[in-house]
Structures are given as C-alpha cells and as structure tokens.
A = this chain, B = another copy of it.
C-alpha cells in the first residue's frame, strides 16, 4: 500500500472541544451515504449527546451532490449551524468548495483520491482515507461494494472523534432490523477504516465526542413519521395521496404504522389509496370525510395548488378532512428538495371566493405527533378541512425530542347525529337542517350516510344553500350562511392550538415566529441575551391567528416576525388581522431553501434593532 503520510497542518492542538461542533458529510446521492450518516447520528444519540441530522439532497436519484449535516450540542441546541467545523469531503465534484467553506481550524476528512485534486489550505486539518485500497482488503461482494464504501468515513470519524465501535455495531443492527449479515458487512468496513486511522493518522484537531446524559428518555424521528404516527393514533381511516417530495415519506410512515390499527385477522381500519393525482386524492378524502370517516392526504406545494378547488368545496360544504402540506421551496416546481415556509398565505386562502382555511403549524416533533391526531378532532368539531403546514426540514430530517404524550382527550367526533340523536334534535328544535346553527357557535349538526332515520338525508353541495341544505340562489340565504361561516372562524380561532408565549423577560422586544424556526430562534435569543438583549417570544401555531397574538404584539414596542420565506407571509397575515396600528412590527424573512440558523436571526435582529 502506497499511502502518503499526512502532512502536518499548521494549526496545532488547542483546547479540546467536546460534544459541541458540527459535521457536514458531502457525498453523491444514491451512493448509500444515507445509512452511514444515520449510523453516525444514531450513535451520537445513543452516546447521550444531543444531536440533529439534516439532509441537503438533490432532486434526482443518483449522482448529484448531497450534504448531510450533523450537529452535536452538549447544550441541546439542535438548529442548523451555518458553518460546520468538520467536513467529510467524499464528493470530488464539490470538495474544493466544501473545503473552502470550513472555518480556520476546521477538519477535512477526504479520500486519498480527492485529496490529490483539491486545493490545500494550511489552516485546517486534513485526514485522507485510502478508500480504494481499504476496500480491496474487504471481502464485500462486488454488488455491495459501492454501497458500503461510505462506511470508511464512519470508521475514520469513529476513531478520530471517539465513537465506540461496539455502539456503532448495535446501531447497525437496529438499522438492519436485527439482521446480522448486513450489519456485520458494514461493520467490517468501519472497523477496517477505524484501525487504519488509528495506525496512520495523527489527530491534530481539538474535536471529540464523549458520552453524556443529554438524550436519555428522548427519542429521534422524522416529522413525517411523527405526523403519520399521530394520524394513526388519531383514528385516520382513509388516506389518499399522490407521491411528491417531501411528503411521500409521510404516507410511507402511515403504511409502516398501519399494522398498529389492524384487527386480529390483520384486516385494516386504514385504507390507503395512491390516487392518480392530487385532485383525485383531495376528492377521495372529501368523499370519505362526508361519509363519516377520518380522512387525510399529504402533499406539497404543487399538490396544494391542484387541490384548490376541492379545498374550496370542502370548506363550503363543511366537510372534515385533513390535508398535510409538507412545504418545499416554491413558486412552481421550485426546489423540490429544499425547505421553505412559503405556502402560508396560499394555503390559508386556498380556494376562490371568500374562503379562509384552518391551518395548524407544528414547530417540532411533538407537535407533529400531536397535530397528527388533533387535526381530526378539530376537523370534525369544526366540520372543516384542516391544513397542517409542516415543512421539508421537519418532515424529512431526524429530530430529537422528548417522547410524545398519549392523546390526553378521547376522540371527538364533533356534532354528528346518529338516528336517535337526530330524533332528539328534532324533538327539541322542531326540525333538523344541516346548516342550522342552534348553538350559536357557527357549527351546525351533521348526519352521515347510512343513518337509519327518515329525515337523516341531506344534499351536500358547493353551491348556495339554505339552512336545510337546499339549493338556494337567494341573497339572504347566501349572506346568512357566510355570516355563520365567519362565526365559525371565530370559534376556530380560540379552539385551535394557541400560541406558545414566553413573556417573562419583560423586554420591549417581541419575536414572533412559526413552525420549525423554533430551535434557531431559541438559540439566537440565548445569544442575544448574552449580549444583554432580552427578548420575549411568541410562536403562532394556527390560522386564523388567535387573539392572544394581537395582545402580544401590542404589549411590545418592537416586534420581529421571523419566518423562512421570501415575502414575509406571516407578517402579511398579522397585518391583515390587525386593523390597529402595528407599524412597530418588522419582518425578518429569509427563504434561501435552508433551515433557519441562529446566526442569521442574531445578526439581522441586531442590525435592525441596533
């Protein structure tokens, strides 16, 4: 083996940095790096180190650049870091740029082949792995060879930064669902690289992992899986969908949890239909919701556009159904594999005419699960479509979380009348009409097909109707119905998840945000506090916006609305919903396709406020 001895970097050993740095793993997609990266993340997780993993992948199947960033944070910060100290540069196409992005004192782990062609910097540590030579020493069948090659960096990383090999083996075993053969095959490669690194590489960087107690009792999962699990615990019955990144894995999640709801004969209580397109998917769940089941679709921007007409129908005919929008970057096909919060306005106003859709905005894994089940209760209680707006970052990346809470309330089917209840209703009110508002909350009573009562039938429609659901073109019927729907919106406003508020600092500065910016904002607030700038905090969790948000805005002199889209859409909605003066509200909107970072918030807020 003709392996060059590493040239010594100029930077010499400094104070050790333990459990507080980030990696970026640059590979080509389809090369099997996903398993390697997962193994790293799960190993750190099991070492008790708070960690996240974010995948930046291209919109094709094989061969284009992918970056996977892993951040370990002893303090439990799991937002994306703008800069990673370490790069695994395994993609020749991007290696030069990847190395250029390292901070001084950073670390580049690369292959001997790539090392030869990239520009060397003298302020970072280089570790070169002789991948081809190492692979020659293995007895991996040639069919798998390409796929396990990436395990070499796992081995090097394990040795360099102290991840125990046996723990990695355990993780591999879980990854392959207990199958020893593939676990061993991968582990052999890891061990080979580990041993080679031990022998040949002199560590010149200060980074190290150490077991700690930061994750015990915690779980790791993707938001799509969490939402899917929530739906399964929320009693979903009918799932109709059409494949689209990044929402596909949401339905994959339901498929994988479907067994939890099978009966003893393995018969299903969840029907899952891959529809011919998103229009059909929306139609199927509208039909299913109308007929009394709990129905869900999951999609992303282009699908939301195509569902506009059905969303309007479901809104106006008052059919419960749950739509997940796992947002990716738009307009148009946009960047299908990049995250964004850019569908807020469009989803809220989805459908022509005066319609406003109910939206839930989960900000973390626990809420993805919680809104997963609660969305059905809300949809049925409010007899309305409910849109859960998540995003690619939450949906497809692994997030660290406290375990979820089992639903704290029984399933709420809302105001559905069975035959006996219908009779009581008629006894009490003289008659039953589908759109009668006897409770004064804008929410009428409904029946579902199959109810054996002579007066149970009604005719659902997207056209004008009176309280009896009879077709009507009368202005007064129309206006009355629209007024009731407004009233229902107000009922919803306070029934939907209320904002999370941290009002304790007594500061004049309020930060308003929603969704997955939570972690970045939290960290940025800590940084600001370090600089002596206290901030209060509100995270909107639903649309229409709760009245508490207005109170928060008015009780702060300076309010920043932080969101990950280009136009500052939450800021726009706040202006729509505030007839009063809110000129002290400023928009900090990003929209670059990447998860929000604390540094962006910190810098922009300081600049604005300073």
Contacts and interface: CB of A to CB of B under 8 A. Distances in A.
A474 to B, nearest CB: 9
Contacts of A84: none
Contacts of A464: 329, 334-335, 338
A120 interface: no
Contacts of A315: 331-332
Interface of A: 58-59, 301-302, 304-306, 308-309, 312-313, 315-317, 329-338, 340, 342-343, 345-347, 349-356, 461-464, 473, 475, 478-479, 482, 486, 565-567, 569, 572, 575-576, 578-583, 585-586, 591-594
A82 B266 CA distance: 65
9 contacts: A59-B473, A306-B308, A329-B464, A330-B353, A331-B353, A331-B462, A338-B475, A343-B352, A345-B349
B576 A576 contact: yes
Contacts of A306: 306, 308-309
B463 A334 contact: yes
Copies of this protein in the complex? 2
A352 B333 CA distance: 9
A300 to B, nearest CB: 8
Contacts of A331: 312, 315-316, 351-355, 462
Contacts of A565: 354
A44 B124 CA distance: 89
A395 to B, nearest CB: 16
B354 A342 contact: yes
B302 A330 contact: no
A302 to B, nearest CB: 6
A352 B592 contact: no
A275 to B, nearest CB: 16
Nearest to A337: B473
Nearest to A580: B583
A572 B544 CA distance: 14
A356 B332 CA distance: 12
Point out which of A59, A330, A332, A461 has the most chain B C-beta atoms below 10 A from its C-beta.
Answer: A332
B351 A334 contact: no
A353 B331 CA distance: 4
A354 B591 contact: yes
A572 B576 contact: yes
Contacts of A582: 581
A463 B332 contact: yes
Contact of A336 (B305, B463, B579, B580): B463
Nearest to A356: B567
Contacts of A566: 354, 482, 486
Nearest to A313: B332
A320 to B, nearest CB: 16
A459 to B, nearest CB: 13
Which of the listed residues A313, A475, A479, A580 has the most CB atoms from chain B within 10 Å of its own CB? A475
A545 to B, nearest CB: 13
A325 to B, nearest CB: 8
A463 B305 contact: no
Contacts of A334: 316, 353, 462-464
A351 B331 CA distance: 7
Contact of A340 (B301, B353, B591): B353
A177 to B, nearest CB: 33
Contacts of A333: 313, 461-463
A354 B473 contact: no
A332 B482 CA distance: 13
Contacts of A576: 572, 575-576
Given A331-B351, A332-B463, A576-B572, A591 B479 contact: yes
A332 B578 CA distance: 27
A568 B462 CA distance: 22
Contacts of A349: 345-346, 349
Given A334-B353, A478-B592, A581-B581, 8 more contacts: A316-B331, A332-B355, A332-B463, A337-B473, A346-B349, A346-B350, A346-B355, A356-B567
A331 B478 CA distance: 11
Contacts of A346: 349-353, 355
Contacts of A352: 301-302, 304-305, 330-331, 342-343, 346-347
A312 B317 contact: no
Nearest to A567: B354
Contacts of A486: 566
Nearest to A58: B473
Contact of A312 (B330, B569, B585): B330
B578 A581 contact: no
A541 B334 CA distance: 30
A510 to B, nearest CB: 16
A482 B591 contact: yes
Contacts of A583: 579-581
Contacts of A343: 352-353
B351 A305 contact: yes
Nearest to A586: B579
A317 B330 CA distance: 12
